Amino acid sequence: MPATKTRDLEAILNRLRERKMRVTKNRERVIGALLTAEKPLNAEQIRERGDLDLVTVYRNVEAFEQAGVLQRIPLENGTQIFELTAPDEHYHHLVCRECHQAERLDVCVGEEMRKVAKANGYSHIAHVLEVYGLCRECVEDNA
Amino acid sequence: MPATKTRDLEAILNRLRERKMRVTKNRERVIGALLTAEKPLNAEQIRERGDLDLVTVYRNVEAFEQAGVLQRIPLENGTQIFELTAPDEHYHHLVCRECHQAERLDVCVGEEMRKVAKANGYSHIAHVLEVYGLCRECVEDNA
DNA sequence: TTTCCTGCAAAATGTTTGCAAGGCA
DNA sequence: TGCCTTGCAAACATTTTGCAGGAAA
């Protein structure tokens, strides 16, 4: 793993330690898989890349989400993919509905949504904004 | 069913006829369930209110979506709810993560998303924007 | 009477849970 | 040591598929 990824890994592990979570080989593998992928992965992809039990993957992405170092991205078909994020950051994505490649978008409507939701009497607000399309490669493959 | 709902029902059935889809008792029931509910329902709720087979529900919401008279709303937990829409309309929602009550939001970021996605080489673009929170009633219940 | 729709059963998918054993702190 | 984490099996929830019979046009 390149030096910069090693630093990222350490930063995340420290975050876990702060939260009194144990640093295990499995957890390093989950994080390593996501770091080296450089794109969001689904549970099965994490399992495969990290040589992990699928249950361990699910339990750990859940734990990481709680710890604020990971974000879930819902796909159009109801499944989800996972991505590492700095604590208190969150992103939106442009996702290919064919190959599920996903890239970050540089837009966020968080403040606006929060305002509207509060006006309607809602609290504990979160929002999901994902854009789905066909990436260039998949359009060509289909042609 | 009130007169206005009957008119809505007829409009939707006509849309199906235009698309050479058959108008069956089951289809009327699915639409009727959604019309009288006045809010998005999940597959099981449609089945129950319409006294339908669950498979029939799924096949028909799929068909209705194709016909452009229905929209899917993904929930945070990966399941989906369904809502009737006029052809070529679509809405975003404020959904309670506790009771799953959902109301329409008067915002749409469609044009902006389309632009960004095209700039990234994507086509056939769709987007999902849903805001989740706790509605007033559920906050009180939890307190 | 042709084609589409439906019901039932069964499978597929994605995810969660129970419990005993294992491993970090 | 004590508690958190893991692995395995099994359950679960939601959604999809196959196929034979039924119904709309």
Q: What is the mean pLDDT of residues B59-74?
A: 93
Cβ contacts of A93 within 8 Å, gap of 6 or more: A40, A73, A102, A103, A104, A105, A130, A131
At residue A142, the pLDDT reads 60
Distance in angstroms: CA B34, C1' C16: 30
The answer to whether residue B115 neighbours chain A at the CB level (below 8 Å) is no
| Residue A126 bridge partners (DSSP) | B132
Strands (E), chain A: 70-74, 80-84, 92-96, 102-105, 123-134
Strand-pairing partners, residue A93, are A104, A130
Rounded to the nearest 10°, the torsion over CA A111, A116, A118, A121 is -160
Separation in Å: C2 C1' and B18 CA: 20
**Nearest CB to A123: which of B109, B129, B133?**
B133
**Under 8 Å between Cβ of B54 and B44:** yes
In this model, does residue B67 exceed pLDDT 70? Answer: yes
Nucleotides of strand C within 7 Å of the protein's CB atoms:
4-10, 13-18, 23-25
Residues forming beta bridges with residue A28, ordered by sequence position: none
Q: Are A83 and A137 in contact (CB under 8 A)?
A: no
What residues of chain A lie within 8 A of the CB of B139, using their CB? 123-124
Q: For residue range B96-129, list pLDDT tens digits in order.
A: 877 878 889 988 788 899 999 999 999 988 888 8
The answer to whether A75 touches A81, Cβ cutoff 8 Å, is yes
Cα diameter, chain B: 52
- Domains of chain A with CATH codes: 1-89 (1.10.10.10), 91-143 (3.30.1490.190)
Contact A96, A76 (CB under 8 A): no
Global pTM? 0.83
Q: Please identify every stretch of chain A with a pLDDT value under 50, giving residue numbers as ranges.
A: none
Per-residue pLDDT tens for B5-59? 788 999 999 999 999 999 999 999 999 999 999 889 999 999 999 999 999 999 9
Residue B65 has pLDDT above 90, yes or no: yes
Partners of A107 on chain B (C-beta within 8 Å) are 109, 112-113, 116
CA B117: distance to chain centroid?
24
Pairwise CA distance, residues A121 & A123, whole Å: 7
Asked if the C-beta of B94 comes within 8 angstroms of chain A's C-beta atoms, the answer is: yes
Q: Which residues of A touch B117 (CB under 8 A)?
A: 94, 131, 133
CA of A22 to C1' of C18 (A): 22
pLDDT for B46 equals 98
B92 touches A120 (CB < 8 A) = no
DSSP, collapsed to helix, strand or coil, labels residue B95 as: strand
